[in-house]
Every structure is written in C-alpha cells, then in structure tokens.
C-alpha cells in the first residue's frame, strides 16, 4: 500500500544566529504540527536504520493519498515563507513509500 510523506530540506541562512549554513532534512506526515509525525534525519544515520525508521513513519503517519500530501506541502510552503524565510531556505518534495499494513 502506498503512503506519502513530505521531505523538507532546510538550510540556515548566514544571518541565522544558531544554525547558519546548517542543512537539515525532515520527514513530515499527518500530525506534524504536534511533532508526532515529524522526524529529523541526521547525517550519521546508517542506511538500514534510516530505511527502518522511514518505513515506520510512512506506515504510521503517512498520508493515504497523493492529493492530501500535496495540500499539506502547500500549507508547509506557505508557513515556511511567512515565518522563517529570514532564518532558512526550505524545499519540499513528496516521497512515496510502499508499506505493509
């Protein structure tokens, strides 16, 4: 069964007092406004661990339709533009996962 997550890449601007130049990758699913479905990927995570965690996140918090995920991406884009453009640059992509339910 397909599930959809939002992949957000954020890079701190030079004027960001805490994270200038730092690049983070986040995966967002349903409930991410409460950080339940939000996960930060650090660069030292092994590929096996990353695959396991993403599979769980997609199964538990992934959007069930591509359309719902695209609507959420639009909301995230608007939020990032309005609130945090001076602190970082954000890109958003839709990622598809095959999961067993």
Looking at every residue in the chain, the average pLDDT score rounds to: 83
- Give the side-chain half-sphere CA count within 13 A for 77: 11
pTM over 0.85: no
Residue 11 reports pLDDT greater than 60: yes
Q: Tokens representing 30?
A: 């349903």
Per-residue pLDDT tens for 38-82? Answer: 666 666 778 888 888 889 889 999 999 999 999 999 988 887 766
**What are the φ and ψ backbone dihedral angles of 56, each rounded to 5 degrees?**
-60, -45
The pLDDT assigned to 37 comes to 57
């Amino acid at each position: 069964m397909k599930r959809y997550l939002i992949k957000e890449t954020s890079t701190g601007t030079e004027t960001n007092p805490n994270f200038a130049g730092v690049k983070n990758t986040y995966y967002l699913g349903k409930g991410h406004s409460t950080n339940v479905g939000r996960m930060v990927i650090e660069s030292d995570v092994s590929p096996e661990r990353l695959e396991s965690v993403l599979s769980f996140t997609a199964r538990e918090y992934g959007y069930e339709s591509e359309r719902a995920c695209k609507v959420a991406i639009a909301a995230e884009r608007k939020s990032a533009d309005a609130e945090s453009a001076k602190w970082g640059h954000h890109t958003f992509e839709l990622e598809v996962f095959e999961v067993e339910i």
